[in-house]
Structure 1
Amino acid sequence: MTAIDSQRIEPAPEMPVDQLLQNMKDYTAMSFELIWQRQAIFLATTILTAFFFDPFNAVLFYATIMICEGQDLLLAKRVERLTRHQRKAIAETLVWILLNTILHSAAICLYAVFVAFEQPSGGHFTPLFFLFAAALFAAMNNHQIVWAMIIRLTMYGISFMVIVVKDIWVERPDLSSELWLHFFTVVFVMYFLIDCALVFLRLYRTNLAQLEKLKEEHERTKAAYIAKSQFVSTVSHELRTPLTSIKGSLDLINTGALGEVPEKMQGLIDMASKNSRRLSTLINDILDIQKMEAGEMVYRIQPVNVHSIVSESIASNLGYASAHNVSITEDCPGETDLFISADASRLMQVLSNMISNAAKFSFEGGTVTVGFKKMGERVRIYVQDQGIGIPSGSRDKVFDRFSQIDSSDERHAGGTGLGMNISKEIVEHFGGLIDYESTLGAGSTFFVEFALLAEETLAETIRRRG
């Protein structure tokens, strides 16, 4: 057995510290996982042998095993605390694991041999089965530390041979005797156990290799993601500078500061202005997405007056709505002193996304209604249009990145599909809810809901700021 093991499962002499530590952690984790199964086996063995053989030796065996089990648990906790930089501690802990393995296996082997010697020749079913169960358990569950598995299988194999060879030595039977059958059966069982150990060892090492490949792939993916993020951020910032100049120049031309614009050029100037605004919005959205992914989005949470933020969002989007030949109306109840906890500028961004989408997808001459209503201890801010509506089953697309309900070349309105995804991230960061209700061909109502600030909380917040 030793020759086969040394040829096929002996660990490399220069095993990396990371791999050795991983093996030890896996070994002790398995010990924790199977602790109650082992206790049941040892207790059952002790009770059976105490009843049919010597109670004193049975109790002594169980006490020794419990000491070893306790030491295993202490070593397992020690392994949990080890790091890859503690080379000396790792080596010392491994030595203690192997020493405890020797003591543990020796107790099992000595007790099995003792029980066998108490029986007449050939009647060793109980101790042999006990050894077989222990050896099979080791073959299946001790492959993480190869030397621990070798120690156990070697000691169990020697005990097997001691029991059957002792019978042959004492009885000197003919080759046709059952004692020789027992001997050859034990040899076969030992081969079977070694083969099982090798199978589980190969599976374990294959899994470790696959895990290592996954870790390497994960590191490469992280590096690629960081590179992508840096590239997107750099390019977006670099695009902003010339775009700001272009927008500024176009605005000067449109205001007439540089003279009257010829009628034939006005259409081109308007188109350039419109597309520069779209490009600016796209760059801002990409930068927001980048900040959210990196966890760098800055929020200034404070009490926000719901009526004020609704009125302000309407005022800031009147020009956009007018460009689409759409009017905006306000629908606010008489109770206006409602406050929520949010970042006013980011909430304004959310409402602007909702209003611009409503205007974009409305029919010419349509009306967009923006308002809010109290719902118990919550408030709902909504934007309602009378436009084309949203098909059923499109909820995921509405809030996905770079997603459009209609992705065809003839869709009703353009866009990047980033606005609602960013809005969802912002609203959920404030602990709110964003959703919509829609009827195809009859319009949509997008809304956000937030918990209202209690008067005591609001007063305390104002007092702190004051």
Structure 2
Amino acid sequence: MTAIDARQLDQVPEKPVERMLQNMKDYTAMSFELIWQRQAILLSATILTGYFFDFFNALLFYSCILICEGQDLILARRVARLRPDQRKAIFESLAWILLNTVLHSTAICLYAISVALAQPSGGHFTPLFFLFAAALFAAMNNHQIVWAMILRLTMYGISFMVIVVEDIWVERPDLSSELWLHFFTVVFVMYFLIDCAFVFLRLYRTNLAQLEKLREEHERTKAAYIAKSQFVSTVSHELRTPLTSIKGSLDLINSGAIGEVPEKMQGLVDMASKNSQRLASLINDILDIQKMEAGEMVYRIRTVDVCAIVQEAISSNLGYASAHKVTIEQDCPDEGDLYISADASRLIQVLSNMISNAAKFSSEGSRVTVGCRRTDTGIRIYVKDRGIGIPPGSRDKVFDRFSQIDSSDERHAGGTGLGMNISREIVEHFGGIIDYESEVGVGSVFYVEFPEVRKVPDPATA
């Protein structure tokens, strides 16, 4: 086998070589997995026949078996390291597997025949059962490599026939003799074993075909996901560039830097400014989702002052709350000294999502409370509104992507449906939890909770 022409091996299609390697790996893995089961069976048969027949012959047989089993282990380790591009090594390993199969089967067959020859005619239950057990084991567990299974079953079948035909040849019995019954029983057993082998072979090939389809589907899905990710990332960045110019121009107009805006145009400018802001938020949310899916989201986790974070989140959302005619109040303990481990900018992003939702779904003139406190399990930061509340059974919708509780609310309040999903990803990355309590018509309390860090933060991060 080592003399195989490399040019001939290169002509073998890639798929059959990969399939052959997979069969070999399955075969050797099964052989390795069942080694102790085989040893228990073979050792029991050796001890039994050695006690009642020839002990030296039994010891010689088991020694040959151990040599073959050792070779199987060496082959199993070699096959496990093979790659599809190592075609010559694959064929050489297959040749060694088949050679070792012949040696292993020959040892079993010769020992069974030797035990049968030591018995009187017709009294061959032990060697025949020994062969039946070996053949059934091969039919059930050697279907990964068809030629190995064929070699074993052929050699065991020949041994079956040698034992029963030898009795008939020596005794020359009538057709009514039990020796003929033994012969026809062996024929039936051989048919049963062959049928079992084909059943297990079909099951194995069906499973391989299903695995191959799943693998191909996985590759197609992965390619589609990569294409989608690249498309979303590219489009989002391309949209952000002109949007930045549009938003900057609208901000200049609103600020009066280029002159007074006519009253008839002010409404249109305000609408354009609001929608550009919504579009910018949507693009930012999509990019965040993309980073999270790709595992590229960067976090700078430090020890942060919770009260300072709450104050900054309130300050950055005062304008948004004023636009919705909602006031924000702070509720933090006077003594402070509440510290957690988190990324300050990402935590402010989470609180901003919670505050903006509270402002959107609150009635005009109502209050939104943003506060923090120490609990039995850590530090809780919460946002409380006096809005419409959330119906029971809506928890999945609240934290799903592109999802809002009600389509009419979505049209009234706007939003991308991504904020709370992103917030959950961020909070869970910090080892915290995010949840809410709500009552329809009364309001909602959204909160995040983190383990407390009992040390003073670095002044730069605070």
Correspondence for 2:223: 223
In 2, Cα distance between the equivalents of 1:403 and 1:35?
55
- Farther off after superposition, 82-91 or 99-108: 82-91
CA deviation profile, 1:241-265 (whole Å, cap 9, x unmatched): 2212221222222222233223232
- Give the Å deviation of 1:16: 2.7
Deviations 1:398-455 (A, max 9, x none): 1111111113477652222100111111111122211112222211111112222243
Q: Which moved more, 1:73-82 or 1:136-145?
A: 73-82
Per the alignment, residue 102 of structure 2 pairs with 102
Which position in structure 1 is the counterpart of 2:278?
A: 278
1:32 is paired with a residue of what secondary structure?
helix
In structure 1, the residue corresponding to 2:415 is in which secondary structure?
A: coil
> In 1, Cα distance between the equivalents of 2:21 and 2:256?
74
With the length of structure 2 as denominator, give the TM-score of the two structures.
0.92
Q: Contact 1:285–1:422 (CA<8 Å) still a contact in 2?
A: yes
Determine if contact 2:404/2:410 at 8 Å carries over to the other structure: no
Q: CA deviation at 1:191?
A: 2.4
Counterpart code for 2:26 = D
* 1:361/1:412 contact within 8 Å kept: no
**Counterpart in the other structure of 2:156:** 156
Work out whether 1:181 is the aligned partner of 2:159. no
| 1:447 partner SS | strand
Listed as ranges, the gaps of 5+ residues in structure 1 are 1-11
Aligned partners of 2:353 and 2:423 also within 8 Å: yes
- Counterpart residue number, 1:250: 250
Kindly state the Cα deviation for residue 196 of structure 1 after the two structures are TM-superposed. 2.1
Counterparts of residues 33-48 of structure 1 (less than 5 Å): 33-48=33-48
- Counterpart residue number, 1:328: 328
Task: Answer whether contact 1:299 1:343 (CA < 8 A) is retained.
Answer: yes
Distance 1:59 1:404 in 2: 77
Structure 1's 395 and 334: CA in aligned 2 closer, same or farther, altered over 3 A?
same
Alignment partner of 1:116: what SS? helix
What is aligned with 2:438?
438
Instruction: Give the corresponding residue for 1:124.
Output: 124
Show the 5 A alignment for 1:58-69: 58-69=58-69
Match of 2:372?
372
Residues 159-168 or 89-98, more deviating: 89-98
Contact 1:300–1:343 (CA under 8 A) maintained in structure 2: yes
For 1:98-133, what per-residue CA distance to the aligned partner results, in whole angstroms no more than 9, with x for missing partners? Answer: 222122111211111112112211121221121111
**In structure 2, distance between residues paired with 1:421 and 1:386:** 22
- Give 5+ residue unaligned stretches, structure 2: 1-10
When the two structures are aligned, how many residues end up with a matched partner?
450
User: How many angstroms apart in 1 are the aligned matches of 2:363 and 2:424?
Assistant: 25
> Take 1:170 and 1:33, find their aligned partners in 2: how far apart are those partners?
43
Corresponding residue number in structure 2 for 1:9: none
State the distance in 1 between where 2:57 and 2:438 align. 80
| C-alpha RMSD of matched pairs (Å) | 2.2
CA contact (8 A) 1:385 1:443 kept: yes
- Bigger mean CA deviation after superposition, 183-192 or 230-239: 183-192
In the aligned structure 2, how far is the partner of 1:123 from the partner of 1:349?
86
1:29 positional shift: 1.6
Aligned to 1:354: 354
Q: Deviations over 1:17-57 (max 9, x none)?
A: 21121111111121233233323322332233233322332
**Larger deviation, residues 401-410 vs 148-157:** 401-410
Query: What is the CA–CA distance in structure 1 between the aligned matches of 2:409 and 2:309, rounded to whole Å?
Result: 36
Residue 185 (structure 1) shift: 2.2
**Deviations 1:358-384 (Å, cap 9, x if unpaired)?**
111112211111111123572111111
Instruction: Verify: 1:396 aligned to 2:392, yes or no.
Output: no
- CA deviation string 1:332-356 (max 9, x = no partner): 1123233222221111111100110
Larger displacement relative to structure 2 (228-237 or 43-52): 43-52
1:387 aligned residue: 387
Give the Cα–Cα distance (whole angstroms) in 1 for the partners of residues 238 and 350 of structure 2.
Answer: 26
CA offsets, 1:285-309, max 9 Å, x none? Answer: 0111111111111222222221111
Deviation at 1:188, TM superposition (A): 2.5
2: CA distance between counterparts of 1:252 and 1:425? 36
Report the Cα offset of residue 171 of structure 1: 0.7
Amino acid at match of 2:205: R
Q: Which residue of 2 aligns with 1:235?
A: 235
User: How many angstroms does 1:389 deviate by?
Assistant: 1.4
> How far did 1:274 drift?
1.3
The answer (yes or no) to whether the contact 2:433–2:449 under 8 Å persists in 1 is yes
Inter-CA distance 454–96: structure 2 relative to 1 (3 Å threshold): farther
Q: Which aligned pairs between 1:188-227 and structure 2 lie closer than 5 A? A: 188-227=188-227
Residue type of the alignment partner of 1:57: N
- The amino acid of 2:381's aligned partner reads I
Instruction: Report how far residue 165 of structure 1 moved.
Output: 1.0
Q: Distance in 2 between matches of 1:81 and 1:357?
A: 56
Per the normalisation by structure 1, the TM-score is 0.91
* Structure 2 match to 1:16: 16
Aligned residues of 2:29 and 2:76 also touching (Cα < 8 A): yes
Distance 1:462 1:25 in 2: 59
Q: Any idea what SS the aligned residue of 1:373 has?
A: strand
What are the superposed Cα offsets for residues 228-247 of structure 1, whole Å, 9 maximum, x if unpaired? 11111111111112212221
User: What percent of counterpart residues are identical?
Assistant: 80
Q: Cα–Cα, structure 1 residues 280 and 143, in superposed 2: closer, same or farther, change >3 Å?
A: same
Higher deviation after alignment, 315-324 or 253-262: 253-262
SS at the partner of 1:317? helix
SS of 2:365 mapped into structure 1 = coil
Whichever residue aligns with residue 345 of structure 1, its letter is S
SS in 1 for 2:407: coil
Q: Which shows bigger deviation, 224-233 or 43-52?
A: 43-52
Please give the alpha-carbon distance, in whole angstroms, between the structure 1 residues aligned to 2:52 and 2:408.
84
Letter in 2 for 1:221: T
Distance 1:245 1:91 in 2: 64
Q: Label 1:285 to 1:410 Cα distance change in 2 as closer, same or farther (>3 A).
A: closer
- The CA distance in 2 between the partners of 1:30 and 1:315, in whole Å, is 66
Q: Rate the CA distance shift 1:90–1:454 in 2: closer, same or farther, 3 A.
A: farther
